[in-house]
Amino acid sequence: MTSDFFMPFQHDLLDLRDLFNFSNLSSFTHNIPVKWVESALRLSESATIRRRRLPSDQVLWLVLGMAIFREEPVHEVARRLNICTKSLASDSLLARSGISHARQRLGSEPVEWLFRETGGHWRHERYPEDEWNGLQVFAMDGALFRTHDTPELREHFGSGNTSTKRQTPFPMLRLVALMNVRSHIIVDAQVSPYRRGEIPLAETFINHIPSRFITLLDKGFWSANLLSLIHQGDDRHWLIPEKKGLIQKVIDTYDEGDELVEMKVSPQARKQHPYLGETWQARRVTYKTKTGHKTILTSLPATEYNAEAIALLYKERWEIELGFRDIKSSMQGNAITLRSKKVDLVYQELWGLLLSYNVIRREAAMAAIQFDRSPSDIRFKAVCDYIAVQLIVMAASNPLSGTGRRLSELRSGIGSLFLERRSRPTTPRTVKISKTRYPAPLK
C-alpha cells in the first residue's frame, strides 16, 4: 500500500506503541505476530499531533470489545473493560459522548488495516492436519449483514427487493471472505454495499492468495474469469459444484465419473475480459450421495489427485458456513442489525468483528496445538465466553494494559474446551424466513 493510503489515519495509530511490551517479546510473539504493529509504528514515527485523552489503543480495544459484548451498549462495554483516560485515575471513565467521538476519530481504516495485516501474516501459518495432499484448504463464500434503517445508511448500503418488489426492511452490506477451513481463520475479506456482487468483490483479493492451495467455492461464484484468476499462480486450484444447465463437451475420460470437459466462454465475459479464450477446460467428478449424484468441477489434474478424495474434500466447504454462524450467532447473538448508525462506524464495527473473530480463532488454534489436537476441535462459543470473562477480570486488575498484553494472557484454560466430532445428518437446504422489524401479530 502507498503512503497516501495511510496518511488519513496514521496519526490515530500514534499510541499503538503501548500495544505490546517490546522489552519481552518472547512470551507472545510465537502466538500473536507484531509485524503489523511495527509497521504502524514506523508510519507514525514522525507524527506530531495533540495527544487525545482517550488513547487510540483504548479505542481499538473498545472496538474489539464491542464485538465480544454485543448485547451491551457501547458505554457499558467501556465500563466492563475499564476503558478510561490515560491521564486520569482508573475509575475515571469517559462520558458516552467522549466514547462516540473517539470512535469517530479512529474511523474504520485503521481497523481494516489491522485485520488485513494480521490476516496476511496468519495465512502462511500451518496447523496440525492443515493440508490436504500438500495443499492448504481454503473456502470462499459471502454473507449479508443488516444495519439500522436510517436514510443515510439506506442511501449508502442499499437493500434487496422482496417478491412483491418492496425493499427489504433493513439496509444491507455484503461480506465476501476467504477462510482456512482447518483453522477457521479468515485470511482475507472484502466489504461493500449490498448492490455490489460477490464475484467482483472476490476478484479484488485473489492475487493475495498464497501458492499451493485449493479453494472450495459455492456455485454462486461460477465465473470463468474468477476461476482462471485463482488458477493463475504456483499450484493454485479450485473446486466448485457444476452449474445447472451447463453445456459441456467431453474431451477425455479418466475413469467412471471422472472426465475432462470443455466449456464455452460467454461473449459477455470475453468482452469484459478480452484475455479469456472462446473455450476453457476443467475436470468433472461425479459421485454418489445419499440423495442421488453430485457433480463438481475442479482444476486439480487427474494424474496427481484421486477423484474419490476430491469428492470427500468438497464436503469441507461447509466449514465456512460454520464460521459465519459463529460470527452471527455466537458473537452477535443473532442480532437483527449491527449496532452502529453512521456509515464509517458500520464499517469499523464489521472490521472489528472480523478481527475479534480471528483473534479468538487463533487463540483456540494455538491452544489446540499445545494439546496436539486440531483447531476445529475447540468449541468456538465456549472460547468466546471464556475470553469475555477473562477480559473483564484483566481489565479490573490493569485497566491501562495494552491490547497485545491482554491477549497474551488468555491462553490458559482454553485447552479444556475441546469437543468431540460427530457426523452431521444430511438435510436439504431451506429458505429462511426474512427477518422483519415488526413483531408477529398476537393470535
| Mean per-residue pLDDT, 289-310 | 92
Instruction: Give the pairing type, strands 213-217 and 135-146.
Output: parallel
Q: Exposed, middle or buried by CB within 10 Å (0-12, 13-18, 19+), for 386?
A: buried
Q: Residue 350: is its pLDDT beyond 90?
A: yes
Q: What pLDDT is attached to residue 290?
A: 84
Distances (CA, A) of 199 to 226, 246, 277, 365: 7, 18, 19, 30
From the CB of residue 270, how many other CB atoms can be counted at a distance below 10 Å? Answer: 16
Give the mean pLDDT of the chain. 76
The grid cell for 236 is 493454485
Higher-confidence residue of 250 and 435: namely 250
Which residue is listed with cell 473446486?
Answer: 239
Alpha-carbon span 152 to 42, nearest angstrom: 36
pLDDT at residue 207, as a whole number = 80
Q: Which residues contact 369 (CB under 8 A, 6 or more apart)?
A: 127, 128, 375
Q: Give the model's pLDDT for residue 381.
A: 84
- 0.85 exceeded by pTM: no
Instruction: Please tell me the least confidently modeled range out of 223-232, 316-325, 382-391.
Output: 382-391
Instruction: With a cut of 70, say whether residue 229 has pLDDT above it.
Output: yes
Number of neighbouring beta carbons within 10 Å of residue 303 = 6
| pLDDT higher than 60, residue 255 | yes
Grid cell for residue 108:
474504520
* Span 356-384, pLDDT tens digits: 898 888 878 877 777 777 777 778 888 88
pLDDT-wise least confident of 19-28, 157-166, 380-389: 19-28
Interval 176-194 mean pLDDT: 93
Statement: residue 51 has pLDDT above 60: no
Report percent pLDDT > 70 for the chain. Answer: 69
Ramachandran category for residue 231: left, alpha or beta (phi over 0 → left; psi -120 to 50 → alpha)? alpha
Q: What is the pLDDT of residues 233-244, one digit of tens each?
A: 778 999 999 988
Phi/psi-derived region of residue 29, left when phi > 0, alpha when psi is between -120 and 50, beta in every other case: alpha
Predicted confidence at residue 437, as pLDDT, reads 58
Most confident option among 20-29, 149-158, 204-213, 424-433? 149-158
Q: For residue 394, what pLDDT is reported?
A: 64
Max mean pLDDT among 28-32, 57-61, 288-292 falls in: 288-292
Backbone angles phi, psi at 385, to 5 degrees: -65, -40
71 pLDDT band (50/70/90 cuts)?
A: confident
**The pLDDT value given to residue 410:** 54
pLDDT at 237: 94
- pLDDT higher for 149 or 159? 149
**HSE-CB of 34 using CA atoms within 13 angstroms:** 24
Q: What's the rounded Cα separation, in Å, for the pair 349 and 345?
A: 6
Phi, psi of 204 (to 5 degrees): -75, -25
Nearest to 145 by CA among 193, 107, 93: 193
**Three-class DSSP labels, the chain:** CCHHHHCCCHHHHHHHHHHCCHHHHHHCCCCCCCHHHHHHHHHHCCCCCCCCCCCHHHHHHHHHHHHHCCCCCHHHHHHHCCCECCCCCCCCECCHHHHHHHHHHHCCHHHHHHHHHHHHHHCCCCCCCCEECCEEEEEEEEEEEECCCCHHHHHHHCCCECCCCCECCCCEEEEEEEEECCCCCEEEEEEEECCCCHHHHHHCCHHHCCCCEEEEECHHHCCHHHHHHHHCCCCEEEEEECCCCCCCEEEEEEECCEEEEEEECCHHHHHHCCCCCCEEEEEEEEEEECCEEEEEEECCCCCCCCHHHHHHHHHHHHHHHHHHHHHHHHHCCCCCCCCCCCHHHHHHHHHHHHHHHHHHHHHHHHHHHHCCCCHHHECHHHHHHHHHHHHHHHHHHCCCCCHHHHHCCCCCCHHHCECCCCCCCCCCCCCCCCCCCCCCCCC
Burial of 17 (0-12, 13-18, 19+ CB in 10 A): middle
Average pLDDT over residues 331-336: 91
**pLDDT tier at 150, thresholds 50, 70, 90:** very high
Look up cell 465465473; give the residue.
223
